[in-house]
Amino acid sequence: MKTIYAVVMLLTFGGVAKMLTPFILTVVSLPGRFIAFPNATSTFTKPRFILGTIIATILQSYVYLAYTAFIINWTMLAIQKQRVSFIVLPLTFLATILPVWFAFKDFRLNVKEMDLLNKEKLGEFSRHEAEKSKSMFNILAQASLITFLLTLLGFFVFSSAPEIMDIIYGWVPFV
């Protein structure tokens, strides 16, 4: 019965995370987007775009790995203290990895849609404006891909060495 409860909780965590992850990653990456595009009249520069992408990636990864740490710690405590079956470990993996993967796919789709929209309205927009709007979505897509890869790595690191999770994310409420 406890295992069924843990499965339901992991599915709930994963479902809520799937809905909230695109919004949270977008908000968290705003400083990187503001560095890459400080105002509407600024010119597009590659170094500024790269710096903005790096900052957005760092912020997204830090926040999403905190969610990963919470889910892993919740699962490990359920297994140790409540004697939940190890069957929940693959569900823990899916509850942490799938939301960021779906967010990445959503951001990637936005880049493609923006590219098509810019091609259709090329006469209305200047080439600079078209590239700028596409690049703002591209920062999210690139940062979320790296966040996905770091989450894959972080899941296995946090699962095998929980003391690292406690050092970096001591502020996360471990239940």
d(CA 93, CA 6): 13
Average pLDDT over residues 38-59: 82
Contact yes or no for 73/175 (Cβ under 8 A): yes
pTM of the model: 0.85
Q: What is the pLDDT of residues 81-138, one digit of tens each?
A: 888 888 888 999 999 999 999 999 998 888 877 777 666 665 555 555 555 555 667 8
Residue 33, both tokens = 């987007």
Q: What is the pLDDT of residues 29-47, one digit of tens each?
A: 989 888 887 766 666 678 8
Q: What mean pLDDT is reported for the chain?
A: 84
pLDDT > 90 in the chain, percent: 41
Q: What is the signed CA dihedral for 145, 146, 152, 153, rounded to 10 degrees?
A: 170
d(CA 93, CA 116): 35
d(CA 52, CA 85): 43
